[in-house]
Structure 1
């Protein structure tokens, strides 16, 4: 049988010209299909079981076309009246009786068959099971593949047709993934976490019948499907979910409900679930029990018993879900038999209609959570330090679902922002119930600032006591903790002992290569002939590092194959805070005996966490000091630490700040800046007391790549521009900017890794006015420039008087509302700084001396060319219109 490429040959000399649009009349013949290329297996003569694919759906139409064009035989139920309902058992009987080679069906049938070992055995005897119309549970798919069943998917849409290769060769555990054949012209718009949104452009083989989008002026069809890349096979994708189904929470996080709902629906008691949480801090779920388990949800005892019965399934879902998407028991809403779910023709729940139907119950659920978090744990009759500790301990144990010691850092023991909010609400509820304290005046981040049971108990006890405590301010406590931590990790540095001659090449241990600065550093180091190897060190993640690295390199404008194909890169997924940095003995010894330079670029970014929560990161700095000093080379491995200008947050900012160590009071205020200060001082102690040479580079504002223009959309400037489009004006200021493109910053850090100057600043040595950068942006977007205070007033006003749904919609169009406090702080600081938006101005005298790449001959001043490159990137990915 001829394949597609043999029938439709491409002529590279002929440009594709779409046919003129045809406007049909109501009398024209047509096919009306319900909306919701062949591959590596010859279909001629194959019997395809089509017993349960309705003809009004695209899947049903295509099976008819295959019979007439490929010579396959359709196996269906015999004609009879009344017709037979196509249950899973009847469908399987039909497939067996007709001796079908291929079974073509929807995922719910496959999931039903997977529960019957006889059916699984029957599936193994076919050439394959092809599913479409919706997602198949990963657990079911993996199980069937392990059992020897060949599974593949058909992916497409009514507006365009089939989009993947139909009936590929067996792909085993990669059954979820597909690639686009040459007959499809996909345009992939980057999304979060390396995902893409699929837009289909017309080509000579397929032209969308609906155009709801445009790409560079060409009409296109936006599927709203979000795809995830295969971790190791470029060009292969799996369906992640629908862009319009994503649940956007009030904190900006998103929940992809599809996979989580699929897990819950594996429970034998559950018919269907619908997750909700749009505009809320956390998710909830409406559960429709199967008919035999239905009950009146007003019966609290039956609700409690049902939730207990399904909790193992919820627990399994929570172990799979991102932290911000996990379910609390209190956020399970049982559907009422009097308000049954409604379904589409595909038998999928009408998500938005169901959520609207249950809106009163959802509102009541959130109100109860806010008011009665952990209300089942009675507060003590009187508040003392001991009773407060007992109460906090009980709340923490219930929230984390395990016990921790009274001195354990909660966030180092898996507590996330959702659980921190639950703990906070529980403590506030208890205080409101038992005291007259105005809990509205308490800081929202007190759990982050006091991340142990002991410190929270002391906080509660002090609030409920007439005594003022020990008289020590929070600022004084923070400074004491900073100094103490420096002492803790500056003891007993190991002696450096040389046992081998100097190496002939350089080997670099580089952390954080999956971020944009780290990716640029990796690309630069690999290109150096004197560097023979780079250990690319990153935290373990559910997405394999190779896939993450390819994605970020490509985003920054580099050729991933040219970098990763050199043989110089060794990926290391590890937890650096652990003993021996989490490395095997063999790999640890290999690194110890070969590394000549260490660049520590990885650092968690969270401005809520306290210094104690950052202690594992500080511990990793000490681990790297010990690694450098353990080198057998004549000199220890050089160690460069990527620090932050955030350390300088409280210095008088009217004059450029000199390069050098600063007092702890300057960095006090956030755990992030305090931990960077602590690390700088530990490095300084090590450098003074040992032969180790260290460099701490305080990085200023990094702008988008000068290659691709890529600038992460969650950062403050892209957010400002996106909000400005909504507000129809851009802010203006008479201040200067000293921003450095991220790839230029990487080149400078590469220069600095051999410096003998221990503290350096990384900012642009030749600042330009804000207007030189933002003026061209204003012109390109056709927006006026207005004074910053006027722009901020418009931003603030745009977020007032909104309900939860409207607020989420507004934050999508106007994301500056999520950074309102930041923009308020910069408004307050603009009068005391020569740098735009209150950023600290940096003296870079020493940096320019040691980094030739910062010279005027190699680093141009920032200009409109740079900012227009950012705008072009943001428009390309759909962030800006």
Structure 2
């Protein structure tokens, strides 16, 4: 490599003359890597650069490089190298902003660098729009594609050369991450870029090796996953040109993942690669990943510390080298490896070199400084002189309020080695002790699963991390918070966690974790031998300190959630309780414990039992609740005494849900319906309803609909007297369809709104002019003891519902309605529903994440479909739109005075078929879609094959059944699943059920098509 400083366009032109057919970059021919790779030569690179420089000069003019700047944003491909070099050649400094900058960040960057021109590739419209919005006067140009540039370049005459090779000429502008504010520009001159070609000349101590020589070898391809707008990506691009070392890139259309990287390694057959640690850790854990990496001579990592477990696996199969190349935001640096120790436990150690402008780019970026403090932390090797272990950034160190310091990086890397943990951040700056934020790998956590259960699964790893941490760095179980699914950790372009941004994002949750710092002083400790009254008094005091909005008049059996207590307050309360109960015993109270004991009485009893539940049975609790909410029911006028209106007026709760949407659409269209009152919790129900109607092409004439925001925990549903009075005078049918699905909550948590609300619905019927007929739907979750077919009648067996507040509350509500019918003559229909499926007509598709769609979608990826579905093999599914029609049928059929006051109906398809009848349709459709043969195999074989799939986000996307493996195992168990529900009485009530057709080939094809779309 020449020691003479030359600008990158000059080097590219020389390579095109001296090595025209040598490969510069290897790119995939398609996103899936099904059609191999394509080699881009130095001749083609030079031609594209000259062509684009000429195009720029014609479109925006020739620039003066000491004055003018042009920015480029594009997909992550060779466009960055071409556009950056072409801008320089046309006389412009090349500004390469991160597409992920905020609108404010882009505006600041463009204004600071006096840039008023933006070039961009195709496929980045949203990023361009962000900049347009921030800078309305900016000039924007979409550049031709690479292949178009080659065609244009073939006809280009005199190439532009509007730049010089002067060492101090600024030619490229990158920027800081903006983690401490707005991004700040970093100016690179020809000299700082030239460093990337000189690092191979770095003097090497005895027994050491120059990693630059191994990393960038002439004509030896090296895959890279770094984004090209980032310093790491730019450094690799410059080094590849200056060292004539070809690089291999991934498909820009796909997010970086282990599968893609393994395919690239298999097809490109490189001898080394460089990667950020987070990506490398994913590849090592993926099936075939370690084997693919074992074929490399070297694996380089940079940008942060690598998990020790990953490093230990890699050094057994290849040479692993820590490269400081990617650590620095604004400097390039060379590194010396630990030489012949390539497979010893020194893979993460490096050699520190003194300042030297030939090899340290920072002294070109800042020519007036003599020393550069990197703010990196290193630890000297205890035995091998000259070797230092990179320990992270000075910014990472947490200083506790007592002055103790703790570097959390090692703790976090241990946590992130667990497959269920996507990210971990230790917190505690200026606090009295450390805390921990955990971001789950959400693709492996079902939406219905309580995320806090994750803590039980990862606790052994936390204990291991605690064992390796200093005493002041250990994390208590009560000081751990689980991230929210809709609030992912902030990440840098290298996929590493942006600590400062993430901590700011979770400030409220962190404050909640530490809210017990002042609690000890305010409320003291709860002695282990505290009596019931002392415990209750302590809780009341703690609630006041934590500012829970619980009135003094609240009873000891009132649900704290009924007063607006939120999840952050529960997090803080659980943490404080753990600390308050720590005197003389080891008790950890989790948020789940508070959810399970939401009253002063129940929580006090739980604490007195040392954080363990007493033996009060769920069955007893349900029985007491039924008794409580049926007290005082007495018969008034019977339905036979009441004259019914000519047209129906409905109350429909939960109209914005799946069933509610279809029900409302059909009620609006019905000539027998005069008006519909939609009662929903949200204030924007009407706009949401209109949007969903528009999305599925349904008419949006709501002239006979009144949307009301309601609160079923309050008298009159929280409505004004005049509105409630009008409904009492007009409503004759009440479809109660709203029920919060929250698997955190207990039966007691459902009491104030849903259980008490059901009693308020009963009271409404009793007071209403037409004795409104109440229709209530719930799903029977288990086989009734001793029954092979469940008859259409009520059961008061409290063992029926699945344990948990949701199912138990529905069971209690149905028994309240049954008692209201029997004791007070309230017309009521309780509808037990089976599996509700996709629509029969047009409408919203069946949710892909439910168990059956997940089987079909996974079968496509597995090229096999199960021939049976275990205990769900009988297909008695009801399309969602027909389910809504059936509910309306049943509501209107019950207005006849000669019918029983209580009806129990079963919403299942009477024309059941076996899954085996449907399988050929599914198989044929999947074969037609994929072009591959799809086998029909036993369910056990299908499930075993699914279990072999790694639980990576990419695999879960293709095989969503991975998340439901436990559920599918349940389908194979004897006696599980839904019972067979009799429909003989239901068919008398609903023409829709009586005439319903079996799920057939046509219907299945419709659903398959919707999932495909």
Unaligned runs of 5+ residues in structure 2 are: 1-43, 57-66, 75-92, 96-101, 110-127, 146-250, 255-394, 404-426, 433-449, 453-476, 483-489, 928-933
Distance 1:424 1:304, change over 3 A: closer
Corresponding residue for residue 401 of structure 2: 300
Q: Distance in 2 between matches of 1:819 and 1:443?
A: 26
Corresponding residue for residue 600 of structure 1: 736
Preserved CA contact (<8 Å) 2:883 2:907: yes
Q: Distance in 2 between matches of 1:733 and 1:773?
A: 11
Whether 1:580 aligns to 2:716 is yes
Corresponding residue for residue 251 of structure 1: none
Preserved CA contact (<8 Å) 2:649 2:676: yes
Whether 1:458 aligns to 2:593 is no
Whether 1:770 aligns to 2:929 is no
Corresponding residue for residue 777 of structure 2: 642
User: Which of 680, 691, 694 is 1:551 aligned to?
Assistant: 691
SS at structure 1 position matched to 2:661: helix
Preserved CA contact (<8 Å) 2:622 2:798: yes
Preserved CA contact (<8 Å) 2:796 2:815: no
Corresponding residue for residue 886 of structure 2: 748
Preserved CA contact (<8 Å) 1:498 1:631: no
Whether 1:852 aligns to 2:988 is no
User: Which of 500, 508, 520 is 2:662 aligned to?
Assistant: 520
User: Which of 858, 861, 866 is 2:1003 aligned to?
Assistant: 866
Corresponding residue for residue 841 of structure 2: 707
Corresponding residue for residue 938 of structure 2: 787
Whether 1:477 aligns to 2:617 is no
Q: What TM-score, normalized to structure 1?
A: 0.55
Corresponding residue for residue 215 of structure 2: none
Q: Distance in 1 between matches of 2:846 and 2:541?
A: 44
Count of residue pairs the alignment pairs up: 574
Preserved CA contact (<8 Å) 1:639 1:693: yes
Distance 1:31 1:516, change over 3 A: farther
Q: Distance in 2 between matches of 1:374 and 1:473?
A: 31
**Shift in Å at residue 626 of structure 1?**
2.4
Deviations 1:401-431 (CA, angstroms, capped at 9, x unpaired) = 5557653323333445666566556656777
Q: Distance in 2 between matches of 1:53 and 1:650?
A: 76
Preserved CA contact (<8 Å) 1:614 1:671: yes
Corresponding residue for residue 183 of structure 1: none
Preserved CA contact (<8 Å) 1:642 1:696: yes
Corresponding residue for residue 717 of structure 1: 852
**Shift in Å at residue 160 of structure 1?**
11
Corresponding residue for residue 56 of structure 1: 71
Deviations 1:126-182 (CA, angstroms, capped at 9, x unpaired) = xxxxx9526989xxxxxxxxxxxxx99999996999xxxxxxxxxxxxxxxxxxxxx
Q: Distance in 2 between matches of 1:155 and 1:691?
A: 75
User: Which of 653, 670, 690 is 2:804 aligned to?
Assistant: 670
Distance 1:695 1:797, change over 3 A: same
Q: Distance in 1 between matches of 2:565 and 2:402?
A: 30
Deviations 1:272-310 (CA, angstroms, capped at 9, x unpaired) = xxxxxxxxxxxxxxxxxxxxxx998525379989899xx
**Shift in Å at residue 852 of structure 1?**
1.2
Compare 772-781 and 401-410 and name the one that shifted more.
401-410
**Shift in Å at residue 840 of structure 1?**
2.0
**Structure 1 residues 250-261: aligned runs within 5 Å:** none
Q: Distance in 2 between matches of 1:332 and 1:665?
A: 35
Preserved CA contact (<8 Å) 1:494 1:630: no
Whether 1:656 aligns to 2:789 is yes
**Shift in Å at residue 519 of structure 1?**
1.1
Preserved CA contact (<8 Å) 1:645 1:700: yes
User: Which of 630, 639, 655 is 2:767 aligned to?
Assistant: 630
Unaligned runs of 5+ residues in structure 1 are: 1-22, 35-51, 60-82, 86-104, 113-130, 138-150, 162-209, 214-293, 309-323, 334-347, 877-881
Q: Distance in 2 between matches of 1:722 and 1:657?
A: 32
Preserved CA contact (<8 Å) 2:864 2:942: yes
Corresponding residue for residue 621 of structure 1: 758
Q: Which protein has the larger Cα radius of gyration, Structure 1 or Structure 2? A: 2
**Shift in Å at residue 747 of structure 1?**
1.4
Q: Distance in 2 between matches of 1:582 and 1:411?
A: 17
User: Which of 20, 25, 30 is 2:52 aligned to?
Assistant: 30
Q: Distance in 1 between matches of 2:514 and 2:948?
A: 32
SS at structure 2 position matched to 1:695: strand
**Structure 1 residues 110-509: aligned runs within 5 Å:** 133=130, 212=253, 298=399, 300=401, 350=492, 355=497, 374=516, 379-386=525-532, 388-389=535-536, 406-416=556-566, 420=570, 434-435=584-585, 445-463=592-610, 472-488=615-631, 491=633, 503-509=645-651
Q: Distance in 1 between matches of 2:53 and 2:665?
A: 53
Distance 1:628 1:832, change over 3 A: same
Corresponding residue for residue 343 of structure 2: none
Preserved CA contact (<8 Å) 1:33 1:56: no
Distance 1:660 1:306, change over 3 A: same
Deviations 1:495-549 (CA, angstroms, capped at 9, x unpaired) = 68999975332211111111111111111112211212222222215xx223321
Corresponding residue for residue 843 of structure 1: 982
Distance 1:580 1:722, change over 3 A: same
Q: What TM-score, normalized to structure 2?
A: 0.48
Q: Distance in 1 between matches of 2:913 and 2:140?
A: 50
Distance 1:733 1:329, change over 3 A: closer
Compare 527-536 and 786-795 and name the one that shifted more.
786-795
Preserved CA contact (<8 Å) 1:702 1:745: yes
**RMSD (CA atoms):** 5.4
Distance 1:464 1:451, change over 3 A: closer
Corresponding residue for residue 817 of structure 2: 683
Whether 1:739 aligns to 2:877 is yes
Q: Distance in 1 between matches of 2:493 and 2:547?
A: 30
Deviations 1:11-62 (CA, angstroms, capped at 9, x unpaired) = xxxxxxxxxxxx995266437999xxxxxxxxxxxxxxxxx99642579xxx
**Shift in Å at residue 665 of structure 1?**
2.2
Q: Distance in 1 between matches of 2:904 and 2:889?
A: 14
Preserved CA contact (<8 Å) 1:512 1:602: yes
**Shift in Å at residue 585 of structure 1?**
2.5
Q: Distance in 2 between matches of 1:153 and 1:697?
A: 62
SS at structure 2 position matched to 1:642: strand
Preserved CA contact (<8 Å) 2:678 2:708: yes
